[in-house]
């Protein structure tokens, strides 16, 4: 996505532009409020940057808003945290209209067991057990502020474990054991990216960065 956004910005500004995004997403993951920043001497209105750049973007990518920010603002470094939503379809038959937009399990899930297990992940932990081998984060120690069951690969790996618990293959206590062992081999397989949505970072209110876009209105 970043390559396409940069190409569109370059075409609209009529000069090369490089942007920095607030976070990375795996292939197949959707971003509903990705935030990028860039520096340019080109002068346009906020509305013109959004609408003009969209002229050069494919149908499945659209700039939702634009803001002028101070030189000190950095989309990645200034983010206080990042938010994700995983949409999961529980159905005996595969998705049709929702194909590519939701994760899917044909097993009946125990929501209470999943919530009980997920509660143990909230707080500051070493998430090595859910870390991808390709992960580029400097440390696996992260703070998870909240996880409600209807979470680079870590979120999909956690979801794989929650599905195992919800389907009865594992009990709720198993997730805490996986977390404590810090061994990726002990966790469940990585779940599909289709239902995972990056719904954006959040910042200090002084930056006035929107936390909602129209595309987010249908999410739970």
Active site residues: 26
Other residues' Cβ atoms within 10 Å of the Cβ of residue 126: 13
Nearest residue to 164 via CA among 197, 117, 97? 117
For 35, other C-beta atoms within 10 Å of its C-beta total 27
Q: What three-state secondary structure class fits 30? A: strand
Q: What span, in angstroms and rounded, lies between the C-alpha atoms of 61 and 212?
A: 16
All residues at 6 or more sequence positions from 113 whose CB lies less than 8 Å from its CB, including other chains:
165, 166, 168, 171, 172
Nearest to 156 by CA among 198, 200, 195, 191: 191
Residue 176 is inside which H or E element, if any?
helix 173-181
56: its two tokens:
């050069």
């Amino acid at each position: 996505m970043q390559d396409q956004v940069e190409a569109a910005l370059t075409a609209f500004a009529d000069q090369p532009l490089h942007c920095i995004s607030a976070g990375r997403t795996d292939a197949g993951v959707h971003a509903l409020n990705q935030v990028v920043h860039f520096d340019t001497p080109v002068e346009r209105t906020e509305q013109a940057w959004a609408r003009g750049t969209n002229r050069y973007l494919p149908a499945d990518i659209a700039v939702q808003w634009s803001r002028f920010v101070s030189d000190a603002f950095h989309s990645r470094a200034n983010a206080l945290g990042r938010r994700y939503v995983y949409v999961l379809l529980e159905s005996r038959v595969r998705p049709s209209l929702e194909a590519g937009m939701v994760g899917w399990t044909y097993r009946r899930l125990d929501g209470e067991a999943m919530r009980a297990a997920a509660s143990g992940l909230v707080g500051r932990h070493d998430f090595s057990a859910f870390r991808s081998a390709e992960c580029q984060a400097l440390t696996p120690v992260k703070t998870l502020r909240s996880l409600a069951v209807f979470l680079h690969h870590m979120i999909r790996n956690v979801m794989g474990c929650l599905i195992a618990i919800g389907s009865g293959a594992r009990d709720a206590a198993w997730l805490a054991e996986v977390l404590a062992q810090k061994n990726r081999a002990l966790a469940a397989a990585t779940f599909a990216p289709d239902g995972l949505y990056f719904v954006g970072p959040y910042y200090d209110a002084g930056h006035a960065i929107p936390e909602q876009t129209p595309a987010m209105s249908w999410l739970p």
